[in-house]
C-alpha cells in the first residue's frame, strides 16, 4: 500500500483532462499520477514541468537518460513504467535494458553518444555535478540545447524518483522489473 492512497475517478475536470492527454487509451492512470492528484497544485506543476513532449533529444536518447536516472536512484516503479511503455518503441534490447540498471557507462552495447549520456547521468547522480572529462565528451556529441535538456531530465526524474520511493508506490501490474545482476543470475536455481 502506498503511504497516500491514490485518487479515484471521477477526477476534477482539470486533472481528468491531463490524465486523458498523457495516458494511452484503455490504460488506467498511473498510481503516481493518481496519488499526485491528491494535491492539484503539485499535480499541475508536475505536468507543467514534465518534459514529456518532443524535445531536443531523440525519444531513444531521452529514454536512456530517464531509465538510467531512475535505475541509479533505485526507483523500480518509474523505471519499470518507462521500460514497459518505451523500450521496444526505442529499440532497447534485453542487454541494453539490463545495462541501464547494472552496466557501466562505457558498456559496449552503447554508441559513443549514448555512453556520453549515461556518463552524465552517473556524474549527476553520484556527485551532483558533471566532471570536466564527461562534459568534454558530451560536448562532442550534443549541442547546448541537448545538454540543457539532458541535465533537466536527470533533475526532473530525480524528483519523480523521490516521489515514487518516498510514497512507497507499488509497481504497476504491467511494469518491468529490475533485471537480476549477472552474479545473481549465476546463483539462481
Tell me yes or no: is domain 59-166 CATH 1.10.10.1590: no
∠ CA(113), CA(149), CA(89), 5° rounding? 65
Overall average pLDDT of the 156-162 stretch: 95
Give the pLDDT confidence of 80-110 residue by residue, as tens digits: 999 999 999 999 999 999 999 999 999 999 9
pLDDT at site 94: 96
Nearest to 73 by CA among 30, 22, 37, 124: 124
Note the pLDDT of residue 45. Answer: 87
Categorize the per-residue pLDDT at 58 as very low, low, confident or very high, splitting at 50, 70 and 90. Answer: very high
SS3 of 180, please? coil
User: Would you kindly state where each structural domain of the chain is located, as residue ranges?
Assistant: 13-48, 59-166
Average pLDDT estimate for 150-168: 96
Check: CB of residue 1 under 8 Å from CB of residue 170.
yes
pLDDT on residue 84: 96
Q: What angle do helix axes 94-102 and 76-86 make, rounded to 10 degrees?
A: 160
Q: How far apart are CA 17 and CA 22, in angstroms?
A: 9
Q: What band does 178 get if pLDDT is binned at 50, 70 and 90?
A: very high
Answer yes or no: are the C-beta atoms of 171 and 83 closer than 8 Å. no
Tracing cell 534485453 back to the chain, one arrives at: 94
Q: Is the dihedral of CA 41, 47, 130, 179 positive or negative?
A: positive
C-alpha cell at 171: 509497481
pLDDT at 189 over 80: no
Q: Which residues contact 171 (CB under 8 A, 6 or more apart)?
A: 76, 77, 80, 177
In this prediction, residue 183 carries a pLDDT of 57
Give me the residue label for grid cell 547521468: 121
Closest CA to 95 of 182, 161, 17: 182
Amino acid at each position: 500500500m502506498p503511504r497516500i492512497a491514490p485518487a479515484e475517478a471521477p477526477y476534477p475536470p482539470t486533472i481528468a483532462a491531463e490524465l486523458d492527454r498523457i495516458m494511452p487509451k484503455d490504460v488506467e492512470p498511473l498510481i503516481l499520477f493518481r496519488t499526485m492528484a491528491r494535491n492539484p497544485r503539485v499535480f499541475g506543476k508536475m505536468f507543467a514541468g514534465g518534459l514529456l513532449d518532443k524535445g531536443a533529444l531523440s525519444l531513444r536518447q531521452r529514454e536512456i537518460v530517464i531509465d538510467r536516472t531512475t535505475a541509479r536512484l533505485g526507483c523500480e516503479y518509474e523505471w519499470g513504467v518507462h521500460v514497459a511503455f518505451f523500450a521496444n518503441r526505442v529499440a532497447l534490447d534485453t542487454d541494453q535494458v539490463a545495462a541501464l540498471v547494472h552496466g557501466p557507462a562505457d558498456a559496449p552495447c552503447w554508441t559513443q553518444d549514448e555512453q556520453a549520456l549515461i556518463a552524465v547521468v552517473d556524474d549527476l547522480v553520484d556527485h551532483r555535478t558533471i566532471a570536466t572529462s564527461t562534459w568534454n565528451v558530451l560536448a562532442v556529441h550534443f549541442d547546448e540545447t541537448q545538454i540543457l535538456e539532458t541535465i533537466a531530465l536527470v533533475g526532473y526524474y530525480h524528483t519523480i524518483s523521490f516521489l515514487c520511493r518516498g510514497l512507497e508506490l507499488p509497481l504497476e501490474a504491467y511494469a518491468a522489473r529490475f533485471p537480476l545482476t549477472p552474479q545473481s543470475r549465476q546463483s539462481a536455481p
